[in-house]
Structure 1
Amino acid sequence: MAFENPTREEIGDILASAGNIAVVGLSDKSDRTSYMVAYAMQLKGYRIIPVNPLVDDDILGEKCYHSLAEIPEPVDIVDVFRRSEFCPEVAREAAAIGAKVLWLQQGVISQEAAEIAQEAGMTVIMDRCIKVEEAITMRDRTRSPK
């Protein structure tokens, strides 16, 4: 069966109820797409949790973790800014921490990661930018800050 993303309405529901968004591969460099997208989501009221094994400092004012397993609180969405070949391992880590959604950013596609996440009961979104989807799906909704 071919992979299919949730509908825009379902994506809107996911974003409306999201609390913590762990951003895997979040760069500490402000000119990188991952930084710009995470910053925009933060400005919209989402809690961003940076995950990058190469960064020991805070990013966007939040403690950066080296792995998903280090995060000491629940994660709703794992937003992935990694190349496709690294996504199956990220999916396994996301499943292990009980994340609800595995979100692979625009240009990132991994059928294997999707299958791992879906088998763990997670919703999967692939090849979509969370910032763009938030703008499209939430423009007619009111988001309550978490």
Structure 2
Amino acid sequence: MSSDRIITEAPKAIEIAGKAKTVAVLGIKTEAKASQPAYFVPEFLQSTGVRIIPVPVFFPDATEILGEPVIRDLKRIKKKVDILDIFRRSEDLNQHLEDILEMDPPPEVVWLQSGISNREFEEKLAENGITVVVSRCLKVDRAASGFRAKF
């Protein structure tokens, strides 16, 4: 059942966060916005050993974020992505659905940050075999799994 793939509770989310090695971040911001979660969450993840693939929606002049080359199109990611972490408004999620479903290989997990949810979007991903973590902070759950920042 697809609803088994929609995660909202801590134990499973913490387990997923603790296993991540590669995270693509849709909606990542640049260092100029370092005080915002769309920058400091991936910065924290990177400090715990996670490889970050930055996929900004804005910042057209950015070519690198967190020392990694920017990718502008999810379908251009050809590496295995453990988690696609999304920093977009709930109402903007559906515009990314087709691109996510066309990723090859697809992400194992799509992670919707705290406050982000869209039932239709979540169900479509789950129906296509993608686990979705809803409205949880990846930084908090990664830390809860035992990882600490190494700045």
TM-score, normalised to structure 1, is 0.84
Q: 2:65 aligns with which of 50, 53, 59?
A: 59
1:86 matches 2:92: yes
Matches of 2:126 and 2:98, distance apart in 1: 11
Note if 1:24 corresponds to 2:30: no
CA–CA separation in structure 2 for the residues paired with 1:34 and 1:72: 23
Gaps of 5+ in 1: none
Please give the root-mean-square deviation of Cα atoms over the aligned residues, in Å.
2.3
Residue 46 of structure 2 is aligned to residue 46 of structure 1: no
Displacement, 1:12?
2.9
C-alpha displacement of 1:102: 0.9
Q: Distance in 2 between matches of 1:75 and 1:39?
A: 17
3-state secondary structure, aligned to 1:108? coil
Asked whether the equivalents of residues 109 and 126 of structure 1 are also in contact (C-alpha less than 8 Å), the reply is yes
Distance of 1:37 and 1:52 partners within structure 2: 14
Q: Which residue matches 2:131?
A: 123
Q: Deviations over 1:89-129 (max 9, x none)?
A: 33332222111111111011111110111011011111111
Name which structure has the greater RCO, CA cutoff 8 Å, separation 6+. 2
Contact 1:53 1:65 in 2 (8 A): no
Partners in 1 of 2:143 and 2:132 — Cα distance?
A: 19
Q: Which runs of 5+ in 2 are unaligned?
A: none
How far apart in 2 are the matches of 1:11 and 1:134?
Answer: 9
Paired AA for residue 77 in structure 1: I
Change (3 A) 1:2 1:122: closer
| Percent identity over paired residues | 34
Q: Measure, in 2, the Cα distance between the counterparts of 1:117 and 1:38.
A: 22
Q: Is the 8 A contact 1:91 1:102 kept in 2?
A: no
Select which of 14, 31, 35 maps to 2:39. Answer: 35
- Structure 1 stretches of 4+ with a deviation exceeding 3 A read 1-4, 53-56
Provide the TM-score with structure 2 as the length reference.
Answer: 0.82
